[in-house]
Amino acid sequence: MTWLSVAGAIFLTWLVLVFLFTPGINYHLAERTSVHDEDFLHTLQSTCQAALHHRNKVTIFTNGPAFYPAMLQAIAGARRSINMECYMFQPGRVADQFIDALAGRARAGINVTIVVDAIGSVSLWGRPVRRLRKAGCRIQSYQRLRWYSLARLNNRTHRELTVVDGRVAFMGGAGIADWWMFPTRRAPAGGATLRKRRPWRDTMARIEGPVVAALQGVAAENWLECCGEILTGEAYFPSLDPAGDTSAFVIKSSPSDRATSSRVAFQLLMEAADRHIRIATPYFLPDRALRRALVERARRGVAVTVIVPGRRTDQKWVRLASRRMWGALIEAGVRVFEYRDSMMHAKVLIVDEEWSVLGTTNIDNRSFEHNDEVNLAMRDPLVAARLLEDYERDLGRSDEVTLERWRSRPLWEKIVGPFIWILERQQ
């Protein structure tokens, strides 16, 4: 064995230890607080180091047939700049529509910058990127695989964000791919007729008003990290007028700090709930501290509800890892529902019909510690009510996992579950 292979083995072992066995932080509140307390807003802002912006307008779009046309319309109307950041930009019919729209604006002289994750959007490279660059779009790959950045291999940009003219932003759980828009076909075992699966369930928001400057700053941050250019000028950061009645602030997180803002914000909002905690997430792997908080709130009479994907999940091993920890939650009164219509990919938190969070963060360690994420925390009962309409509809399309049902899950699942605990730290 050569010294080079020995060094490689040592380095690989170090990566495994760093990625898998970094101890978690025991998050908890110094003392009980409430989302309705006068000081709660200041606590949330200060702890997350985020400024509150008033007088914004937030429009909620449910599912791809609603949000993709709205995004394309905004791109078509761009007059000065378009900044886009995607974890998932997957070639297909939807991608072609966006590539045509972005290329068309670039040819018209609009500044178009695009950041895509090197792993999440790996299949975009080739002809689609050449089309964009030929039209004048500038596109960068986030965290490309290089020998000197292997220690950051686990850090991906999971942000899904589009900002037009620095005035209108779209954000939420969806990237650019056909499965958010069109039914997918899958061949069942036995070679029977192809079955259609409904498009993924997801939520996006259109945001106007002063908070858009903070969202533009998030997009500019990753562009800077990719190529060193600092975006400046009114094309990117115009003066913004009030647009509505929603107070909101941006929660962005990055693994540069272990105690990320998104993790702190979710812990604060959940532990400060007095009446209801409603969660929708595609990947539900809360760590011990967050599970403890949910159990404590449920035992104190807070109605805690979680909607997760059912059998139509895109990550079956993650679902398996998630299901193994539901027993203690359900015993404490947390209600868990599995969405049956399609893949549940919405990432929504609603607390006491007053606060709501929408963005890219999953309830798992990968989002909280390893990814670049972006969320919008909103204090507005009307926005919460709009999101609650979707949530109640989703509950009607879900099956509750009772304690009896959880205990009667297949024997193989009970056997395999304990051996995939590692996903609790990585997903």
Percent of the chain with pLDDT over 90: 74
Q: Are residues 172 and 68 in the same domain?
A: yes
Q: Are residues 405 and 340 in the same domain?
A: yes
Return the closest-CA partner of residue 162 out of 89, 228, 248, 53: 89
How many angstroms from the chain centroid is the CA of residue 9?
Answer: 34
Q: Are residues 178 and 312 in the same domain?
A: no
pLDDT per residue as tens digits for the range 309-326: 999 999 998 999 999 999
Cα–Cα distances in Å, from 193 out to 12, 189, 217, 311? 45, 10, 49, 19
Confidence of residue 223 (pLDDT cuts 50, 70, 90): very high
Cα separation, 388 vs 391, whole angstroms: 5
Report yes or no on 101 lying in a domain: yes
260 within 8 A of 367, measured Cβ to Cβ: no
| Last residue within a domain, chosen from 172, 192, 227 | 227
Structural domain boundaries, residue 142: 53-227
- How do 111-117 and 81-86 pair as beta strands? parallel
Q: What is the 3-state secondary structure of 321-385? A: HHHCCHHHHHHHCCEEEEECCCCECCCEEEECCCEEEEECCCECHHHHHHCEEEEEEEECHHHHH
Return the closest-CA partner of residue 202 out of 74, 343, 313, 75: 343
Report yes or no on 13 lying in a domain: no
Confidence of residue 427 (pLDDT cuts 50, 70, 90): very low
Report yes or no on 7 lying in a domain: no
Confidence of residue 260 (pLDDT cuts 50, 70, 90): confident
Report yes or no on 296 lying in a domain: yes
Q: Which residue's entry shows tokens 């989302």?
A: 35
Question: Which structure tokens are listed for 18?
Answer: 């760093």
Report yes or no on 18 lying in a domain: no
Report yes or no on 232 lying in a domain: no
| Last residue within a domain, chosen from 172, 193, 227 | 227
pLDDT of 269 higher than 50? yes
Q: Are residues 27 and 96 in the same domain?
A: no
Strands annotated E in 15-91: 53-62, 81-86
Number of domains in the chain: 2
pLDDT of 14 higher than 60? no
- Region 316-338: mean pLDDT is 95
Report yes or no on 380 lying in a domain: yes
Q: What CATH number does residue 373 fall under?
A: 3.30.870.10
Q: Are residues 165 and 82 in the same domain?
A: yes
Q: Are residues 300 and 405 in the same domain?
A: yes
- Region 69-84: mean pLDDT is 98
- Region 153-174: mean pLDDT is 92
- pLDDT at site 257: 59
Cα separation, 125 vs 104, whole angstroms: 19
pLDDT of 190 higher than 90? no
**Least confident window among 88-102, 247-261, 300-314, 360-374:** 247-261
Cα separation, 324 vs 401, whole angstroms: 12
- pLDDT at site 259: 61
- pLDDT at site 5: 57
Question: Which structure tokens are listed for 402?
Answer: 């009772």
pLDDT of 424 higher than 60? no
Q: Are residues 127 and 190 in the same domain?
A: yes
Report yes or no on 233 lying in a domain: no
Q: Are residues 77 and 176 in the same domain?
A: yes
**Least confident window among 109-113, 142-146, 174-178, 340-344:** 142-146
Calculate the dihedral angle through the C-alpha atoms of 59, 63, 65, 68, rounding to the nearest 10 degrees.
60
- pLDDT at site 423: 53
Between residues 229 and 20, which one has the greater pLDDT? 229
Q: Are residues 41 and 71 in the same domain?
A: no
- pLDDT at site 155: 76
Q: Are residues 34 and 66 in the same domain?
A: no
- pLDDT at site 416: 82
pLDDT per residue as tens digits for the range 117-148: 999 999 998 999 999 999 999 999 997 776 66
- pLDDT at site 196: 76
pLDDT of 261 higher than 80? yes
pLDDT per residue as tens digits for the range 16-75: 555 455 567 888 899 989 999 989 988 999 998 889 999 999 999 999 999 999 999 999
**Least confident window among 105-114, 201-210, 258-267, 325-334:** 258-267
Calculate the dihedral angle through the C-alpha atoms of 204, 252, 76, 96, rounding to the nearest 10 degrees.
-70
Q: Are residues 342 and 382 in the same domain?
A: yes
Q: What values do phi and psi take at 144, rounded to 5?
A: -65, 155
Q: Are residues 198 and 273 in the same domain?
A: no
